[in-house]
Structure formats: C-alpha cells, structure tokens
Amino acid sequence: MLDRILSPSRKQPLSRRTTSTTAADEIRKKIFDGELRDGQPIRQDILAAELGISRTPIREALVQLEAEGLVRSEPHKGAVVAGLSPTEIEETFELRELLEPMLLKTSAPRLTEEDFAELASILKEYSGELRTRNVRRWGELNTAFHATLYARADRPQTQAMVARLLNSSDRYTRLQLVMTKGLRRAEAEHALIVDYCRKGQFDQAVDLLRAHIHHVKTELMRYVTKANKPKAGAGRK
C-alpha cells in the first residue's frame, strides 16, 4: 500500500509491468535516496549497465520523470536531477496550501476504518523512527501520510498533482524535519488532524492542515534563504 503511494507507476499487477516503468521507479528511488544529487547529470549508459537493461527503456523513463518534475533534460545534452530553487520551493508549498485543504475537505468525511488504520500505522512508525534519524524514511512517511489523507477525495487529477508536488518537494521537506523541532511538531499536528477527522470536526481538520503546510513552508523558506544555499536549483540554463 505504501509502495503504491510512493511509486506512482506501480499500479499494474507486476506481471505486466514494463522495463521502462521499473527503470523509472529505480531512478526515482536513487533521487530520493540522494544517490543522485541535485544538478547531477544522469548518464544513460551507466544506468543501463547498473540495471542490466538497454538504454531504450531508460530514455522512456527519463521522459516520464521529466514530466514528474524530478529531472530536467536538454536535447543532446542529457538529463540532470532537478533541484528546486528557493522560489520554486515556495511555489510548490503555496500550491500544496491551496490544493490539499480542498482535497481533505472532500476526503475526510469519507475515510474508512481501513484508512484510519493505515494512517495510525504510518503515525506509529513515524513516532518510532523519531530516534533512528533515518531521514529518508521520514520523508516517505510524511508523503504517505498526506496522500492517504486524501485517498477518498475522488478527484484523481488533483490527487495526482498533489502526489507530484509531494514527491518533488520531499527532499526539501526532510530538511525542515531535521532541523528545529520540525519532526516533533509534525508528529503532533498529524495526530491532531487525524483526531479531528475521526471526530467529524472536518473544518478544524482542514484549517489545521492548511496551517500545518503553511508553517512548514515558512520554516523551510527561512532555512533555505538564510542558510544561503544558492546552489540549490543550480544546473539550470
């Protein structure tokens, strides 16, 4: 279930999965894991060799990842991992601030027991990981939490957009989680949002969600701009 949320292309029953979607998943994973860093060139040859396949499916995977915003490529020059500039980070979170409350408003009243169980399980692992400092996992859980909240919104296009936003901002959200008490605060707010949903206090859940995203944005922007990391988002034309 978590897998399905995190890897957008894993909808097929695995038997009929194609090599290029597998390649896309692998590359996406490398980017999340930091094995491929922002602005770093992605060599088709090397990836093909690593995955034991030819370059053809790699190329198709890169087209898909570019559409997801994880990769930027220029003709005859190749693809690089797409970092987000501070401005782009801000825009991403503003979009989330706009779209996610809309989704929660529709989804919250329809959440099933299974959904709440899923959410509880995510939050539980989240709390457990508090001391492991497994940063990647934090980001994954954060993304999965939000995506699960909106599972019943019944707005596939919007959900896809939000999933894409969550994916492309994931690496930066982790920054915010690591510094300050971001993780603790997120833990508390996440739990409270679920509580509100359970109790039927949907408006309060929605308001808190909006405030939650807004707060993460503010903290993250302060960190990103003050800590003068102008190299983020480099490698652009």
Partner DNA sequence: AGATTGGATATTGTATCCAATCTTCCACCA
Partner DNA sequence: TGGTGGAAGATTGGATACAATATCCAATCT
Candidates 50-58, 117-125, 186-194, 209-217; binding stretch for DNA (CB under 7 A) = 50-58
170, 92 contact by CB (below 8 A): no
Among 11, 16, 131, 237, binds DNA (CB under 7 A): 16
Nearest of 161, 144, 169 to residue 31 by alpha carbon: 169
Asked if 42 is part of the footprint of DNA (rule: CB under 7 A), the reply reads: yes
64: partner contacted, choices DNA, its own copies, none (Cβ within 5-8 A by kind)? its own copies
Asked if 76 is part of the footprint of DNA (rule: CB under 7 A), the reply reads: yes
Question: Which residues form the interface with its own copies (CB under 8 A)?
Answer: 12, 16-18, 20-21, 56, 59-60, 63-64, 67-69, 74-76, 88, 91-92, 95, 98-99, 102, 155-158, 161
CA distance 229 to 86: 9
Q: Which is nearer to its own copies, 88 or 125 (CB)?
A: 88
What angle is formed at CA 118 by the lines to CA 115 and CA 119, rounded to 5 degrees?
85
42: partner contacted, choices its own copies, DNA, none (Cβ within 5-8 A by kind)? DNA
167: partner contacted, choices its own copies, DNA, none (Cβ within 5-8 A by kind)? none
Give every CB contact of residue 92 below 8 A, 6+ residues apart in sequence: 84, 165, 168, 169
Q: Which is nearer to its own copies, 20 or 142 (CB)?
A: 20
Give every CB contact of residue 100 below 8 A, 6+ residues apart in sequence: 146, 150, 162, 209, 210, 213
54: partner contacted, choices its own copies, DNA, none (Cβ within 5-8 A by kind)? DNA
Q: Minimum distance between the CB of residue 31 and DNA, rounded to whole angstroms? A: 15
Q: Three-state SS for 72?
A: strand
Q: Which residues bind DNA (CB under 7 A)?
A: 16, 18-20, 41-45, 53-57, 59-60, 73, 75-79
